Amino acid sequence: MSAFPGVVETAEAVNSGRRRAEDVARESLARIGDGDGRIRAFLEVTGELALAEARSVDARIAAGERLPLAGVPLAIKDNIWIAGRTATCASRILAGFRPPGDSTVGARLRQAGAVFVGRANMDEFAMGSSTENSSSHVTRNPWDRERIPGGSSGGSAAAVAAGFVPGGFGSDTGGSIRQPAACCGVVGFKPTYGRVSRSGLVAFASSLDQIGPLSRSVADAARLYGAVAGADPLDSTTSALPVGDPEGALERGVRGLTVGFLEEAQLEGLDPEVAANLEESRRIFRDAGARLIPVSVPRASVAIAIYYVLASAEASSNLARFDGVRYGPRASEESLVSLYVESRTAGFGAEVKRRILLGTFALASGYYEAYYGRALRARQLLREDFARAFASADVIVCPSIPAPAFRIGEKTADPLTMYLSDIFTVPASLAGLPAISVPSGLTRGGLPLGIQVLGPAFAEDTVFAAARAFEIGAEFPDGLPGLEA
Amino acid sequence: MSSASRVVTPQGVREIASLARLRLAEGDLPRWSEQLSRVVEYIDQLEGIPEEAFGAPAAGEPTLLREDDPRPGGGEAALAANAPRRLHGYGVVPRVVGPGGG
């Protein structure tokens, strides 16, 4: 047993009566108390609420219930509504906002026995790849505290990597679960668009947003995903298709599967250690019995361009609701227009303003067809590219990140360079496909890298099977990064 | 890059900001212009996709509508409690008609 039990292990210990949920929660809170001053993964630690929830789980276990996430402490990204807590998206404009209740994901996790220990830091409104855009503070990478944890779900990823919690949840619009997972050496999974309800997730780009888990193993990710997946009458984009059996698929292996390696991942200028790591992943899949083929998704090379039109356009529309009338601080009472302008100007940070401006530009009269319309049509071509690729491959593999976690402050002056951090994660987002990042090794400097496995829509079981086979072969170190002062 | 050659000029940024109900400091407009122009120029690579590559627009997935049955609501009062100013259960805004309206 590892010193820091995972999701499945914790739930089994609590279900069997070997451990009490309250003790598990106290240990998690103690680790956060000891270490989070150096990592700053959390915006708020909700200790008393978590202990009350843990006691409630203990009562349910004593009454004979068996729960898939019995007593599992979780870090929840600050854009997912959890009853009794504020949900601010790490933004000043939502300071103090108290949601009316649980998101669907929150309610399902609660029903499954999870315990919510804290609100995890994030890039404001999930816009960013480094968690530097939080209005509160920068979260540090547990592997190297001078470096970013990735983003936007950087708080959740860092909390799992540091061993504060066995699991967490984030949201992924263009890579915001998978990219920080790779930067922090943990597993991060984005389900198919429509698998997990977005009800109670603060909207960024509604055609892309999906909630998903972060954990220290593929099996833990499958358990967490299974607890929240499935149709929800409160989100009309959720699918009625059966969720399948992600945990049952874990040990199916890849013998007989065709693994396609994405040709467009062979970028000029790809970090040599990432390239070597990708080569090593070929060996792992081959040794595990998979058939390897090259696959091409030609429009993956323009995915970032498509994404920054569509995501920004949707964001500019979604964020129009934040105007000082219904939520958050109000900055002026002079006139209605001044109320809107001053509240938004004071409430949003620079990156959020940049995306709103970009989206407003792309939707403006005279530019709409040239930018938004063209990007929509290009997105359809990308989907068709993937459909062709999946006609010959069961899963597609590529790196999760083009380079290991960069230094804090390194890319803040150049938004475009920051945007390109998501070059390998955005294609699956635009096509709505399930994709998982699995830790794949360390650089010579000791920084984690990740390999990504993509599947056809709603083929989560196959993705988990391939990811588990890769995890076995990759032998990523089980220990935690040192958190000594 | 000179501001004249930028895709999004400082004046353009000011107009977009006005549409988006944001106020940007005049002195910051050149920097916004430069950053947005770099992103828009990157996005312009979509122009390289030949027109014939685009087929007929794909039919979107049909929207599944739930039955129009009344269901218990709830949460309205908790949500409304987040408004910065309230009176008799309503959010209060500055006067928009008559003298002083705007």
ipTM for the complex shown: 0.92
Cβ within 8 Å of A, B 68-87 = 74-76, 78-85
Q: Do A132 and A151 form a contact (C-beta atoms < 8 A)?
A: yes
pLDDT at A484: 52
pLDDT at A438: 98
A337–B21 CB contact, under 8 Å = yes
B46–A306 CB contact, under 8 Å = yes
Q: Which residue out of A88, A341, A357 would a mutagenesis test of the B interface target, given it has the greatest number of B Cβ atoms within 10 Å?
A: A357
Q: From residue A183, how far is each of A47, A162, A165, A381 by CA, in Å?
A: 27, 13, 17, 30
Using the Cβ of A342 and the Cβ atoms of chain B, whether some distance falls under 8 Å is answered with: yes
Q: How far is CA A311 from the centre of its chain?
A: 16
pLDDT at A161: 97
Whether residue B50 is predicted with pLDDT greater than 80 in this model: the reply is yes
Question: Rounded CA gap, A447 and A289, in Å?
Answer: 28
State how beta strands B90-91 and A435-442 pair.
unpaired
Cβ within 8 Å of B, A 357-376 = 357-358, 360-361, 364, 371, 374-375
Question: Rounded CA gap, A332 and B72, in Å?
Answer: 36
pLDDT at B74: 74
Sort out which chain B residues have CB atoms less than 8 A from A101's CB and list them: 74-75, 78
Nearest to A72 by CA among A137, A6, A130, A128: A6
Q: Give residue B2's pLDDT band: very low, low, confident or very high (50, 70, 90).
A: very low
Q: Which residue has the tokens 């009794």?
A: A84
A192: DSSP letter: P
Comparing CB atoms, the residue among B20, B40, B48 nearest residue A360 is: B20
Using the Cβ of A92 and the Cβ atoms of chain B, whether some distance falls under 8 Å is answered with: no
Closest residue of B to A362, CA-based?
A: B40
Sort out which chain A residues have CB atoms less than 8 A from B96's CB and list them: 335-336
Q: Which residues of chain A have pLDDT under 50?
A: 1, 485
Question: Rounded CA gap, B10 and B4, in Å?
Answer: 9
Contacts of A276 (CB under 8 A, 6+ apart): none
Residue count of chain A, please give it. Answer: 485
Using the Cβ of A197 and the Cβ atoms of chain B, whether some distance falls under 8 Å is answered with: no
Q: Which residue has the tokens 């895709």?
A: B7
Closest residue of B to A343, CA-based?
A: B22
Q: Do B23 and A342 form a contact (C-beta atoms < 8 A)?
A: yes
Helix and strand element counts for chain B (H, E) = 3, 2
pLDDT at A268: 73
Comparing CB atoms, the residue among B20, B23, B102 nearest residue A335 is: B102
Question: Rounded CA gap, A410 and A419, in Å?
Answer: 13
A345–B23 CB contact, under 8 Å = yes
A316–B20 CB contact, under 8 Å = yes
Peptide bond into A152 cis (omega under 30): yes
Residues of A acting as catalytic residues: 77, 152, 176
pLDDT at A299: 96
Comparing CB atoms, the residue among B20, B21, B91 nearest residue A326 is: B91
Sort out which chain A residues have CB atoms less than 8 A from B54's CB and list them: 377-378, 380-381
Which pair of tokens denotes residue A429? 């987002």
Helix (H) or strand (E) holding B14: helix B10-19
Contacts of A438 (CB under 8 A, 6+ apart): A187, A218, A450, A451, A452, A453, A467, A470, A471, A474, A476
Comparing CB atoms, the residue among B12, B22, B66 nearest residue A353 is: B22
CB atoms within 10 A of CB A320: 15
Whether residue B4 is predicted with pLDDT greater than 50 in this model: the reply is no
Q: With 0-12 CB in 10 A as exposed, 13-18 as middle and 19+ as buried, what is B71?
A: exposed
DSSP string over A238-299: S--S----HHHHGGG-STTPEEEEEGGGS-TT--HHHHHHHHHHHHHHHHTT-EEEEE--GG
State how beta strands A187-190 and A435-442 pair.
antiparallel
Sort out which chain B residues have CB atoms less than 8 A from A327's CB and list them: 82-84
A342–B20 CB contact, under 8 Å = no
Q: Which amino acid is at A336?
A: L
Question: Rounded CA gap, A375 and A359, in Å?
Answer: 12
B43–A305 CB contact, under 8 Å = yes
B102–A419 CB contact, under 8 Å = no
Contacts of A44 (CB under 8 A, 6+ apart): A85, A86, A118, A119
pLDDT at B78: 86
Nearest to A476 by CA among A250, A279, A186: A186
Closest residue of A to B75, CA-based?
A: A100
CB atoms within 10 A of CB B42: 16
Q: Is A45 helix (H, G, I), strand (E, B) or coil?
A: strand
Nearest to A58 by CA among A47, A45, A67, A49: A67
CA-angle at A477, arms to A440 and A36, nearest 5°: 100
Nearest to A385 by CA among A330, A430, A343, A434: A430
Q: Give residue B1's pLDDT band: very low, low, confident or very high (50, 70, 90).
A: very low
Comparing CB atoms, the residue among A305, A326, A342 nearest residue B42 is: A305
A353–B24 CB contact, under 8 Å = yes
pLDDT at A3: 64
A325–B83 CB contact, under 8 Å = yes
A357–B17 CB contact, under 8 Å = yes
Using the Cβ of B59 and the Cβ atoms of chain A, whether some distance falls under 8 Å is answered with: no
Rounded to two decimals, the pTM is: 0.96
Q: From residue A469, how far is each of A261, A289, A463 by CA, in Å?
A: 16, 10, 10
CB atoms within 10 A of CB A276: 14
Return the exposure string of A112-135: e unless at least 16 CB atoms fall within 10 Å of the residue's CB, then b: bbbbbbbbbbbbbbbbbbbbbbbb
pLDDT (tens digit per residue) in B12-38: 999 999 999 999 999 999 999 999 999
B85–A416 CB contact, under 8 Å = no
pLDDT (tens digit per residue) in B75-101: 788 888 899 998 887 888 998 887 655
pLDDT at A106: 98
pLDDT (tens digit per residue) in A236-288: 999 999 999 999 999 999 999 999 999 999 877 789 999 999 999 999 999 99
Sort out which chain A residues have CB atoms less than 8 A from B45's CB and list them: 302, 305
Which pair of tokens denotes residue A43? 């915006």
Q: Do A250 and A218 form a contact (C-beta atoms < 8 A)?
A: yes
Question: Rounded CA gap, A314 and A291, in Å?
Answer: 40
Q: Count residue pairs from A and B with Cβ separation < 8 A.
A: 140
pLDDT at A365: 86
Using the Cβ of A417 and the Cβ atoms of chain B, whether some distance falls under 8 Å is answered with: no
Question: Rounded CA gap, A113 and A111, in Å?
Answer: 5
Beta bridge partners of A407: A147
Q: Is B91 helix (H, G, I), strand (E, B) or coil?
A: strand
pLDDT at A483: 61
